[in-house]
Chain A
């Protein structure tokens, strides 16, 4: 096919054209006024002069001859918006989402497109990605239309773009500039029902940053109603799929409803929750019926099980301390009567109750944070191998275990040969060493996770003497850390981390002498810290994840973890890994790298806005060391599903500014495609500028010469 192209004249050429036009008009006027010229001569001269003038004028416009050929394989980008608003179910067929409708329509038109071009499929979510098929779901958190300009990098030689979207743009710059710079027409296809969609949306959730396990908390939820008839719906708070609380809300014609939902957190630690409003009939967008939020849930109280083999001052003082500690819920049993006690009393006269069975103890075990056995011959009271195995699992799973009494750490210990032996801080197969029966307690030589005193050794000298059975455990188990020792002699107390849990052994049952002897503060401090260590309070965690200042979706965030051993010393050679569960349910994982001094770093990129739960685990020499978890709130100023009403005005603007066209999905027909692609179906093979052609210039001169010859032959001046 041959075509003509005209250029844009410069200013000089434009003025030249004006002069030539003026000269042509003058020449035509002369002919018209000349007398004695026959009409045929007048017409001939006028035609010759007009042709010459027209030819000269056209040269000013830099004309060119185009030799074109038909091309049916020009690359054309077909981009479908896959952001979350495209999941709205208001498409042409009932129940069909916008995304599904586009996918169906594109698949129907693909043969037609393929006859006229070479379509290249793209999906636009948080970023632009080239795809072979339009599968998956519309879940993107952002609608950054400016990313369409990345087409030039993804596919070379694209001649046009077909862009299917509902026009809900958010999370990026104004796309019109970048798209205009793309240099190709963008044909936009509007998807969705531009009339207001009926939508009940969770607009915001407010809750306190902290709460307590099993203690009622509140979430204040703000709902936005669009075209929702009067009615009622249930508003709930969920965590890990479990409904924790709910209430019914009613409305008439309000556009905004705010309600407070009470709920009880079921687990301690950083937790994510969801406020969910049940969908209304006919609601097109269900994505915005829920919104996540996070809270740091503390334990209301630490549950301690304390079993004592026989009453004594140690039980009296320690029980009193635990009972008066508001952070402790104490369940305790003390054996008041031995099997061999002779009783001449009826059961009615005694206040004794049956000791819990092993089954009852094991059933309640998971609910405790720590277990204390003081001089307790557990085998005599029905705690057999199954019981000790269960206790071992309890400890390895994160529980604390305190064993008191020197008989527990001798070769005749009831723990020897049991499942618990390997968890004891003292080796039970060693003969005990002899020592004094009255002694000062001293701190150990090296670091310990906790102590009776925060610093300095002067306080130790003022402590009342302790008493014991003149023997001390033979040896510490490997990995155990001493907490107390007898002055100049053997260990009194030691701790050992086991799996996720902790075990403490204390041989002397006379720390009460510190309290009675005027050092009550020391006594309270020692046992408070021991309890905090046993129950794994934050200050004693072997692994601590430090939350970053903030996290932006799509941006790299650095995670920091501090790793310490039982004695609180930095661990330089641990291996750490982490998992991430994002707000949209996607899972990610990675590893930490050592940064020195027990600090570890990892790079993480969260894609979805909202709360993301991060869990980190560390191992050392193949053994579990510790773990921690936090919730990161990946922020975004754009809520993709807050308002899903289509915005076709933007789409029309884009097509207009790029030389394309706009239509709705219903108008995306074969004829429309053909009309859009026809200009693209021809490729210019060759361009011949006429102004540079000697043939054209010669023709113009021939016209002028011909006019002169005609006048001379006719005798006109």
Chain B
């Protein structure tokens, strides 16, 4: 079915439509800047840093419809030496295969995290013994003298920043949960071994490309919630552990 009137077909509407859609989708083309809006920045590395392509529109749409976050419509892709690294408060390191960082890369990441930046490390392999997992396991120690991934307890603000979650899962559910790196008392980096982006990938037909195992669709739902929580946590910090929330949260958590 042709959605446009017959008379319009005689016009060169396609370039016009393209022009309008570009403006609609990419406001920055008109000179806008992200300002205070949330920007999903992806770190490019020597491994497969973009295993699923640009998932951001799907994630952004969900954020926009579910929360009050006003995300920047475009993701930002940058290398560790890119000056824009220090303009990007939320950084995603995802992919397959080993990740290698030079000492300069490590210095910049260290400075980034120390200055208030947030890093989400997402194991797209969802294999705790795979090359990605092995390469990122030593990342904290490379960045900070006493750096190490520590398990994030279930009562941490990450698990309640928007949704109330009791455990972590992704495309897989390894049982290892989420791990974190604290810098100066602040949870500055989160590592998911279970592939948080995978549950967002759609097939060309519009369905989900990857099953979530072993929990199926309920697990997918929880995994999508977790990513929303991590984004919200990066913007609100320990907000949900403030005293004003505790009575409400305790009541909800105690419900069967």
Q: Mark B56-94, 1 if CB is under 8 A from A, else 0.
A: 000000000111111000000000000000110100000
A313, B162: Cβ atoms under 8 Å? no
- A353 and B65 contact, CB distance less than 8 A: no
CB neighbours (8 Å) of A353 from chain B are 244-245, 248-249
**A315, B235: Cβ atoms closer than 8 Å:** yes
Query: A513 touches which one: B31, B65, B87 (CB < 8 A)?
Result: B87
Contact of A311 among B69, B115, B186 (CB under 8 A): B69
Query: CB of A332 within 8 A of chain B?
Result: yes
Please report the C-alpha to C-alpha distance between residue A471 and residue B212 in the assembled complex, in whole angstroms: 47
- Complex contact B68–A518 (CB within 8 A): no
Q: Is the CB of B68 within 8 A of A467?
A: no
Q: Decide if A469 is an interface residue (CB 8 Å cutoff).
A: yes
Partner of A316, one of B32, B235, B245: B235
B68 touching A520, Cβ below 8 Å: no
- A interface size (C-beta, 8 A): 50
A311 touches B236 (CB 8 A): yes
Q: Is A105 an interface residue (CB 8 A)?
A: no
Q: Please indicate the chain A residues that have their CB under 8 angstroms from the CB of B111 in the complex.
A: 518
User: Chain A contacts of B38 at CB under 8 A?
Assistant: 311-313
Of chain B, the residue at the smallest CB distance from A342 is B65
- List residues of chain A with CB within 8 A of the CB of B164: 348-351
User: A342, B66: Cβ atoms under 8 Å?
Assistant: yes
Would B35 and A468 count as touching, CB distance under 8 A?
yes
The number of chain B residues with a CB under 8 A from chain A is: 45
Quick check: which of A317-325, A390-398, A408-416, A451-459 contacts chain B, the rest being far away? A317-325
Chain A residue at minimum C-beta to C-beta distance from B114:
A520
Write the chain A residue with the least CB distance to B229. A351
Q: Mark A426-446, 1 if CB is under 8 A from B, else 0.
A: 000000000001100000000
Q: Of A313, A341, A347, which one neighbours B67 at CB under 8 angstroms? A: A341
Which among B32, B35, B65, B225 is the interface contact of A341 at CB below 8 angstroms? B65
**Contact among B117, B237, B248, B249 with A516 in the assembled complex (CB-CB below 8 Å):** B117
A153 to chain B, nearest CB (A): 71
Least distance between A551 CB and chain B CB atoms (Å): 46
On whether the beta carbons of A518 and B163 are closer than 8 Å, the reply is no
A 642-673 to B, binary, CB cutoff 8 A, 1 in contact else 0: 00000000000000000000000000000000
A510 within 8 A of B: yes
Contact with B68, one of A323, A332, A336 (Cβ below 8 angstroms):
A336
Partner of B36, one of A319, A323, A510, A516: A510
Does the CB pair B36–A312 fall under 8 Å?
Answer: yes
* Whole-angstrom distance between the Cβ of B176 and the nearest chain A Cβ: 23
Give CA–CA (A352, B235) in the complex, Å.
Answer: 15
Contact with B along A316-358 (1 / 0, CB 8 A): 1101100110000001111111100111010111111100000
A544 to B54, alpha carbons, bound, how many Å? 60
| Contacts known (A351-B164, A517-B87); A316 close to B67, Cβ less than 8 A | no
Contact A316 B68 (CB under 8 A): no
B234 in contact with A316 (CB, 8 Å) = yes
Does A379 have its Cβ within 8 Å of any Cβ on chain B? no
Q: Is A220 an interface residue (CB 8 A)?
A: no
B149 within 8 A of A: no
Judge whether B185 is part of the interface by a CB distance below 8 angstroms: yes
Q: Which of A310, A332, A336, A343 has the most CB of B within 10 A?
A: A336
Does A472 touch B at the CB level, under 8 Å?
no
Is there an interface contact between B36 and A314, defined as CB atoms closer than 8 Å? yes
CB distance A437 to B239 under 8 Å? Answer: no
User: How far, in Å, is A533 (CB) from chain B's closest CB?
Assistant: 23
Nearest chain B CB to A311 CB, angstrom units = 4
> Nearest CB to that of A324 among chain B residues?
B185
Question: Do residues B116 and A338 form an inter-chain contact, with CB atoms below 8 A?
Answer: no
A/B interface sample: 24 pairs, CB < 8 A: A310-B69, A311-B67, A312-B36, A316-B236, A319-B239, A320-B116, A323-B237, A332-B239, A333-B244, A335-B68, A336-B67, A341-B67, A345-B163, A351-B162, A467-B34, A467-B36, A468-B33, A469-B35, A508-B35, A515-B116, A516-B87, A516-B89, A517-B86, A518-B86
Q: A332-B239, A468-B33 are in contact. List 9 more A-B contacts (CB 8 A).
A: A312-B38, A313-B89, A320-B186, A351-B162, A467-B36, A468-B35, A512-B89, A515-B116, A516-B115
5 closest cross-chain pairs (CB), A and B: A509-B36, A311-B235, A310-B68, A312-B36, A351-B160
